[in-house]
Chain A
Amino acid sequence: MAVVRFEAISQKFGEFFALNDVSASFESAKIHAVLGENGAGKSTLMKVLFGLQKPTAGRIEVEGIDRKWKGPADAIAAGLGMVQQHFTLVPTLSVIDNIMLGAESLSSFGRLDRNAAIIALEKKLPSESLRLDWHKLVSELSVGEQQRVEILKLIARDAKIMVLDEPTAVLTPSEIEELFHILQRLRDSGRTIFVITHKLAEVFSFCDTWLALRAGRVGGTGLIEGTALNQVVRAMVGSDVPPLRERAVRDPGEVFLKVCDVRTDDTYGVNLRGFNIEVRAGEVVGVAGVDGSGQSELVDCILGLRTFSGDVSVGGRPVRLGETREVRDTGVALISEDRHHQSLWLDESVEMNAGLGFETSFANRGWLNVAAWSQTVTGWLASFDVRIPTMQTPVAKLSGGNQQKLIFARELSGRKTPLIICHQPTRGVDLAAIHSIHSELIERRDQGAAVLLISSELDELLALSDRIVAISDGVAAGEFERLSGTMNREAIGRAMTCGATT
């Protein structure tokens, strides 16, 4: 029986269709994967279901009843619940207080009755594996446990239909597995679960059905059983993605980047605690780790943006604080983690963004030669297949994939780049662009560039790296090589989470 049905849902923002005539129905007690690239409309569809967005046209049916939500409160009352990508928890309150927040059970004189709330909640738990220490502060929980608190909130409010927005983005491999086991328990207890995601591996391991959206329309739908992976990819992208370029067999050359026993000393935040890594010419070295294990600090140290003790050298030249220009001039291409702030000047034009950093080469006695600038960067952008309306378009208006390709074009064209530092190069980027970015990195490696690839997507690291160094709480927690066959998912996942003891 269909528990949720969309009938010809359209959602217009101005002239733009975020959803265009989407019809789909979902059975109860199943895990449904809602797939699509950025901007395909998957989040919008779930927002429409949850009453956060009023559709321009179309009908929503929940449990056979035609629904017109006035807002999320209506949807919650009807048994829906949503876990946002960014948690909405109060870190200074305990688990049970967070769960009660907004639906407090009170005893006489309006006192909070935590015991009653705990008893009520425990009765509703479909499985013991969901249990947490109810009185622990949320700030003391791991990310995976915090996510469980969000799910528990929905259980406490008797949500029968749960929507999770990109739930695995912040989790380690073992936490992802745990999450889906919990979701499967919830499914088995009769709840319907929607998971918004773009990670196909998870979908195939844990979900029951899939719906792929492409540019606001239904690209395809079906049961996971009996569906091939590239069928789903085609539904998302509209065409087949060619296989990744084969890497050339080659011996790595000289060590180009050397990080030796680097420690940072920052009162707030994460510190490196004696981190080591070496990247040679002609190899891709991956850094695997949960976000916030010291990756950003590592990049800052290499660029001379942060005080550290220990040795960092780029191209044989020691890195010192404040010498960022010198480091970049030895030939460092930098793909920063936070694209919008660290790699782009959002409200400036494409043309400007594509040339920034090389402005001195377009200058004549201080005055910039706009014509030369424009001509040069047009060539750069063309060779990287960046699709732009005009050179004067603000770069903020480009899609994530095109922004990232523009950054690659700028970073790799302006000078020789024996070292490429990539920090989350494909975050928020569409599949076609991911493919061209990955191919570019492999090609550069084959041509002899040293590539430092920092990513929290293990699949990306496994596909590209010659070696992977796991980082955990600021130390290197294990090294894995492609050639010797030690590069396997489980071992890396363990090293990322358990630290150097493995």
Chain B
Amino acid sequence: MKRLSLFAPLISVFIGLALSLLLVVALGESPILVMKVLANGAVGSATSFGYSLFYATPLIFTGLSVWWSLRAGLFNIGAEGQMTVGGAAMAVVGIVLSSLPSWLAWPLALLAGFGAGAVWGYIVAWFKIRRGTHELLTSILLNFVSYGVAGVLFLHVFRNPSVQTPETLEVRERVLVARDERDWWLKPVECVFRFCSALRIRGRRGDAEIGFGLRTRWVGSAPEFARRTGVATSRQTMMALVISGGLAGLAGASMILGYAHKAREGFSSGAGFVGIAVALLGGRRAIGVLLAALLFGALQKGALDLDLDTEKISRDLAVVIQALVVIAVATKSWLEAKRWNS
């Protein structure tokens, strides 16, 4: 089991990719050409690679968000909504608190993003603990609420009156995460780097685990055992969903504070849902989630060029590949469970 943990995700990726290429062949396009375009678009140049990182950044956060909930035995599929409210909160702070110094402003904006997502996660936890409503249901339904809330902010409160599109005013420069005008592709990189070094998520084997993280996994995997040993299981559940929501709330940061400098309706563009796939592929360790996010980000970037460089294949191939990879992962867990039971 342990030995497979690094190898198996690679197999899943390989199977997903192979199946997609079969589809490509069936559509009468050269799989070699498609692979070339994908690779070139994703890592062909420094700029391409920078873009890949840019696409990966929100996925890292939504992926970690879903991953954290899975560790606690919960399935938060509301990262999309948590990301939306988180992004809205960051934009609002960025617009309103323009007079603060930079070193205070951008951490504050991030904190607001985390907080807004955490509140969304807390609502899910409240319903689960107090009313017994399954988190799958509440977390996905809250997505729609978040669109509404963000819509009101974007369209009525902080709308940029000088443009036609539903988007906010620009975030003040002081709040931005990356400000260098020339190496603008570095912005997402810097973004990732700053957050990751701040988060310092570590796995058990490499170093040590914190007791809190252990209890989160314990309640997730062996809830009855934990409960009987005196672990406050509802509190762990609540904290897990709050943290999960908060991580998703940060997902919009690279977009809003790093690149677009404003929030626009629909800016999440499905990153919350792709985060589920990232978490499933990433497996048990945080580093796996990071790698999965980088892979999916690179796929999204690489697939953009398919629209132009091939005749019959569009950028949606990235979605197809992602889906097939997830199916491969699911098949693997299913086979494992089957073997375990027999």
Taking beta carbons and an 8 Å cutoff, which residues of A are in contact with B?
303, 305, 322, 324-329, 334, 336, 338, 341-348, 356-357, 359-360, 363, 366-370, 392, 394
The answer to whether A360 touches B211 (Cβ under 8 A) is: yes
Per the 8 Å Cβ criterion, residues 204-245 of B in contact with A are: 204, 208-212, 214-215, 218, 221-222, 224-225, 227-232
Residue of B nearest to A397 (CB): B1
The answer to whether B222 touches A346 (Cβ under 8 A) is: yes
CB < 8 Å: which of A328, A345, A368, A370 contacts B230?
A: A328
How far is A360 from B212 in the complex, measured between Cα atoms in Å? 10
The answer to whether B227 touches A305 (Cβ under 8 A) is: yes
- List of 4 A-B pairs having minimum Cβ-Cβ separation, nearest first: A325-B230, A345-B222, A357-B229, A324-B230
The answer to whether B1 touches A366 (Cβ under 8 A) is: no
Would you mind naming 23 contact pairs between A and B with Cβ atoms under 8 Å apart? A303-B228, A324-B228, A324-B229, A324-B230, A341-B224, A341-B225, A342-B224, A342-B228, A343-B228, A344-B222, A345-B221, A345-B225, A346-B222, A356-B218, A357-B230, A359-B211, A359-B214, A359-B215, A367-B210, A367-B211, A370-B208, A392-B2, A394-B1
State how many angstroms separate the Cβ of A372 from the closest Cβ of chain B: 11
How far is A366 from B210 in the complex, measured between Cα atoms in Å? 5
Sample of 5 further A-B pairs with CB below 8 A, known A341-B224, A342-B228: A329-B230, A336-B225, A343-B225, A367-B208, A368-B211
The answer to whether B211 touches A366 (Cβ under 8 A) is: yes
Per the 8 Å Cβ criterion, residues 23-77 of B in contact with A are: none
Residue of B nearest to A13 (CB): B342
CB neighbours (8 Å) of B229 from chain A are: 324, 328, 334, 356-357
The answer to whether A348 touches B227 (Cβ under 8 A) is: no
Give the contact-size bracket for chain B.
Answer: 20 to 34
CB neighbours (8 Å) of B2 from chain A are: 392
State how many angstroms separate the Cβ of A268 from the closest Cβ of chain B: 14
How far is A346 from B231 in the complex, measured between Cα atoms in Å? 18
CB neighbours (8 Å) of A363 from chain B are: 210-211
Interface centre among B1, B208, B232 (most CB of A within 10 A): B208
CB neighbours (8 Å) of B228 from chain A are: 303, 305, 324, 334, 336, 342-343
CB neighbours (8 Å) of A343 from chain B are: 225, 228
The answer to whether B208 touches A324 (Cβ under 8 A) is: no
CB neighbours (8 Å) of A345 from chain B are: 218, 221-222, 225
CB neighbours (8 Å) of A348 from chain B are: 221-222
A-B contact count (CB 8 A): 69
How far is A303 from B233 in the complex, measured between Cα atoms in Å? 14
Residue of A nearest to B204 (CB): A370
CB neighbours (8 Å) of B218 from chain A are: 345, 356
Interface centre among B212, B224, B228, B231 (most CB of A within 10 A): B228
Residue of B nearest to A410 (CB): B229
How far is A239 from B215 in the complex, measured between Cα atoms in Å? 43
How far is A341 from B214 in the complex, measured between Cα atoms in Å? 17
Interface centre among B209, B210, B214, B229 (most CB of A within 10 A): B229
How far is A324 from B209 in the complex, measured between Cα atoms in Å? 24
Residue of B nearest to A373 (CB): B208
The answer to whether A356 touches B225 (Cβ under 8 A) is: yes
Interface centre among B1, B212, B218, B230 (most CB of A within 10 A): B230
How far is A325 from B229 in the complex, measured between Cα atoms in Å? 7
State how many angstroms separate the Cβ of B232 from the closest Cβ of chain A: 7
Residue of B nearest to A334 (CB): B228
State how many angstroms separate the Cβ of A152 from the closest Cβ of chain B: 31
CB neighbours (8 Å) of B209 from chain A are: 367-368, 370
Knowing A324-B230, A345-B218, A356-B218, the reply to whether A368 touches B210 (Cβ < 8 A) is yes
How far is A322 from B129 in the complex, measured between Cα atoms in Å? 14
How far is A341 from B73 in the complex, measured between Cα atoms in Å? 14
How far is A81 from B52 in the complex, measured between Cα atoms in Å? 65
How far is A328 from B228 in the complex, measured between Cα atoms in Å? 9
Residue of A nearest to B234 (CB): A322
CB neighbours (8 Å) of A322 from chain B are: 232
The answer to whether A369 touches B208 (Cβ under 8 A) is: yes
How far is A348 from B71 in the complex, measured between Cα atoms in Å? 13
Residue of A nearest to B215 (CB): A359
The answer to whether A325 touches B208 (Cβ under 8 A) is: no
How far is A359 from B224 in the complex, measured between Cα atoms in Å? 17
Per the 8 Å Cβ criterion, residues 173-215 of B in contact with A are: 204, 208-212, 214-215
Residue of B nearest to A300 (CB): B228
How far is A329 from B229 in the complex, measured between Cα atoms in Å? 10
CB < 8 Å: which of A327, A342, A347, A394 contacts B225?
A: A342
CB neighbours (8 Å) of A359 from chain B are: 211, 214-215
CB neighbours (8 Å) of B227 from chain A are: 305, 324
CB neighbours (8 Å) of A360 from chain B are: 211
Residue of B nearest to A341 (CB): B224
How far is A356 from B223 in the complex, measured between Cα atoms in Å? 13
Knowing A328-B229, A356-B229, the reply to whether A366 touches B224 (Cβ < 8 A) is no
The answer to whether A325 touches B232 (Cβ under 8 A) is: yes
State how many angstroms separate the Cβ of A228 from the closest Cβ of chain B: 39
How far is A476 from B225 in the complex, measured between Cα atoms in Å? 28
